Structure 1
Amino acid sequence: MTIAKPPTASIEGIVPVMLTPFDDSGAIDYAGLERLIEWYVAQGSDALFAVAQSSEMQFLTLAERGALGRFVVEKVAGRIPVVVSGHISDDPNAQAEELNVAAATGAQAIVLVTNRLDPAREGTQIFAANLKRLLARLPSHLPLGLYECPAPYRRLLSDDELKLCIDTGRFIMLKDVSCDLATVKRRVALAQGSPLKILNANAAIAWDAMRAGSAGFNGVFTNFHTDLYKWLRNDAAQDPALADELATFLVLAAVSESLGYPALAKMYHQRIGTFNSIRCRVIDYDVRERFWALDAILDKIVAGTEHFRARIAALDSSR
């Protein structure tokens, strides 16, 4: 593969995977999306990942994916970097089309989904051939990312495949979904000296991964308390005991992802006035009926979040 000029963009830190608000009719709620963008920025997000699985990208049309990405880039207006995916198709030609639509949004990078490079689970040879074919059809100046999206199946990169991507010189981030600290550490070592940053997406190992050299956190609970993850990454040395307590709370809170996410996150944003509706396209059932006491669980997550925010604020004021 031809090695491109090293990209200048860098994606690291706390990077929320964005939700997509819908109104009760199922249309994208752009007013709610604008409020969500401002919430992410106010929370101290270092970058945003738009048109991801949390955005329900598999349930958006190509036109909607493009419009969503453009809207985010426009409203962020350069305050922080934005990366965009929407890479969902099986057909190679459709993949090239949808990634070029993502590129046209003006995002700082576009993100390739690893399972789309090997949709039939055929192995490294097919992965490499599809990668080469796709890279030839994408703008050569635009930085790229990788995403081990769990749907339709979790396609983890082998070390050789990661090295192949690094050696192209075009990749600046991997959303790591290995959920394994040893794998994160090994990948950090493999990427040493390259533009590629490893962003762990698993809350259970978030604190340990950051201490081990992961360049940040890119998990779904950035939709509840981005600021707490940011404090953990940047300021934990102020109070190591508080950092350990906070890390434990963040792990336990994130266990609730299995209880109707992303509707659960939309319930939270409905509470704080970001969204009017918790409508999802990916969920076709009543989350409150399926997951009893869901509001009570959310109460505890909110209470814990505010408890740690207050303790951090008190710590800051005492300095």
Structure 2
Amino acid sequence: MFSPITGIMPVVLTPFHEDASIDWESYARLLEWYIDKGADALFAVCQSSEMHELTLEERVALAKFTARHVKNRIPVYASGHVSQDPREQKRELTSMVDTGVDGVVLVTNRLASEEAEEDTATHGLLSLMTELPRDLPLGLYECPAPYRRLLTDDQIKLCADSGRFTMLKDVSCDLEVVARRVEMSLGSPLSIMNANAAIAWPAMQAGASGFGGVFNNIHPDLYKWLYREGKQNSSLANELAVFLATSALAEPMGYPALAKWFLKREGVLKTTTCRKMDHKDLKRFWALEDILQRIEEGNAIYRQKITENSTQTLVLSARFASNESTTN
């Protein structure tokens, strides 16, 4: 049986030069940044990668580069089927199989047209599954563009029972739905990874397998702490969850360019260039730079609080151990 993907799974950006060609040097630094910040897995060639603006050759090259650079340190999954034609989708997905990635992700809005019924989407799902090797772990992504197609309960059960799926990037943005899906997938390798920052903490408490939202490109280490340590530090976790949810409200103000702006300031990327939008459009969002600077300051504040919390825990543990030794 495959192992589920759990923890923090950033959606990997694609850095570009000013001429919009892929900046491989920055991409290597970005992959290391994710790993250094505690990523448990990576989701490459996704919407945040601007997959709809990449050629198939570029998508395959990104997947290969990611797998080769990461070198099995953490799992790498990749998607990249963007066509509407099912035959072309099969070509796109099978092209990913030999890239060295650990899993291939099916995008749910590619299963059928927006108006199609559940049975049509289920047929599309089964058809794509038959084209991919049974010994290759699969993932699911409810990508919101060009339209959002949420999986039905029957489709979730089908995927869980198949034993072939190890993660769902859940974009329902509904805590009740997340909790129900967690319950439905128990005993299977399918993990439910919420991608909505507003419910990140309660979803984790409800059994979600981590966090896969876009603000893993801003502060993945804070989500990592929330997932790994939050239950043991509920007061700080509740406070941090408010900061993370509030920060994520900036997403409509020019993502992914705003994330690239952030990473450029950190010295990871050279430019904020995007193919899906003119990065100069950031200027139309009033005070965006000031907002991002406040988020940057908030990151520093909460990293310090986490350090102080950890130090205090170690001190208390040492005192307890000392008292136990003296008593005995």
SS for the counterpart of 1:221 is helix
Matches within 5 A, 1:107-146: 107-146=101-140
Instruction: Report the more deviating stretch, 284-293 or 215-224.
Output: 284-293
Residue 248 (structure 2) pairs with residue 254 (structure 1)? yes
1:105 corresponds to which residue?
99
Specify the SS of the correspondent of 1:136: helix
Superimposed CA distance per residue, residues 157-212 of structure 1 (whole angstroms, 9 cap, x where no aligned partner)? 11011112222221111100000000000000110111100000000000000000
Correspondences of 1:180-195 after superposition (within 5 Å) = 180-195=174-189
**Which of residues 61, 73, 86 is equivalent to 1:92?**
86
1: CA distance, partners of 2:98 / 2:83: 18
Number of aligned positions between the proteins: 313
Identity of aligned residues (%): 52
Larger radius of gyration: 2
Query: What do the CA deviations read for 1:272-318 (whole angstroms, capped 9, x no partner)?
Result: 11111100011136233211211101100000011000111122223
Secondary structure of 2:147's counterpart equals: coil
What is the CA distance between 1:92 and its match in structure 2? Answer: 1.0
Question: What is the CA RMSD across the aligned residues, in angstroms?
Answer: 1.1
Is the Cα–Cα contact under 8 Å of residues 18 and 50 in structure 1 kept in the other structure?
yes
Please name the residue that 1:37 is paired with: 31
Instruction: Summarize deviations over 1:53-92 as a string: whole Å, max 9, x none.
Output: 0110111000000000110111111110011000211111
- For residue 239 of structure 1, the aligned residue among 230, 233, 236 is 233
User: Can you give the 5+ residue segments of structure 1 that lack an aligned partner in the other structure?
Assistant: 1-5
> Quick one: which amino acid aligns to residue 73 of structure 2?
R
SS in 1 for 2:193: strand
Aligned partner letter, 1:19: L
State the 1:103 CA deviation.
1.4
Question: The residue matched to 2:43 in structure 1 has which SS?
Answer: strand
Partner of 1:12: 6
Kindly provide the amino acid, as one letter, of the partner of residue 301 in structure 1: I
Instruction: Give the equivalent residue in structure 2 for 1:196.
Output: 190
Are the counterparts in 1 of residues 179 and 206 from structure 2 also a CA contact under 8 Å?
yes
2:205 aligned partner: 211
**Displacement after TM superposition at 1:9 (Å):** 3.6
- Distance in 1, matches of 2:191 and 2:282, equals 38
Offset of 1:237 from its aligned partner?
Answer: 3.6
The amino acid of 2:141's aligned partner reads Y
**Which residue of structure 2 lines up, in the alignment, with residue 227 of structure 1?**
221
**CA–CA distance in structure 1, aligned partners of residues 311 and 134 of structure 2:** 48
Is the contact between residue 9 and residue 108 of structure 1 (CA under 8 Å) also seen in structure 2? no
Distance (Å, rounded) in 2 between the aligned partners of 1:136 and 1:242: 46
Partner amino acid, structure 1, of 2:107: V
1:3 maps to what in 2?
Answer: none
Segments of 4+ moved more than 6 angstroms: none
CA contact (8 A) 1:84 1:110 kept: yes
Equivalent residue letter for 1:274: V
What is the rounded CA distance, in whole Å, between the counterparts of 1:213 and 1:104 in structure 2?
A: 33
Matched ranges for 1:61-80 at <5 A? 61-80=55-74
- Structure 2 residue 298 is matched with structure 1 residue 304: yes
Give the 3-state SS of the residue equivalent to 1:258 in structure 2: coil
Tell me how far apart the structure 2 counterparts of residues 182 and 120 of structure 1 sit (CA, whole Å).
Answer: 24
Q: Is the 8 A contact 1:263 1:287 kept in 2?
A: no
Tell me which amino acid in the other structure corresponds to 2:56: L
- TM-score, scaled to structure 1: 0.96
Q: Which residue in the other structure is 1:292 paired with?
A: 286
- Which residue does 1:273 correspond to in 2? 267
Corresponding letter in the other structure for 2:8: I
Whole-angstrom CA distance in 2 between matches of 1:177 and 1:193: 22
Tell me which moved more, 233-242 or 270-279: 233-242
Looking at structure 2, the residues matched to 256 and 162 of structure 1 have their Cα atoms a distance apart, in angstroms, of 31
Once the 2 structures are TM-superposed, how far is the Cα of residue 238 of structure 1 from its aligned partner? 4.1
Cα deviation for residue 235 of structure 1 reads 0.9
Give the structure-2-normalised TM-score. 0.93
Q: How does 1:148-163 map to 2 (within 5 A)?
A: 148-163=142-157
> Are 1:112 and 1:144, in contact at CA under 8 Å, matched by a contact in 2?
yes
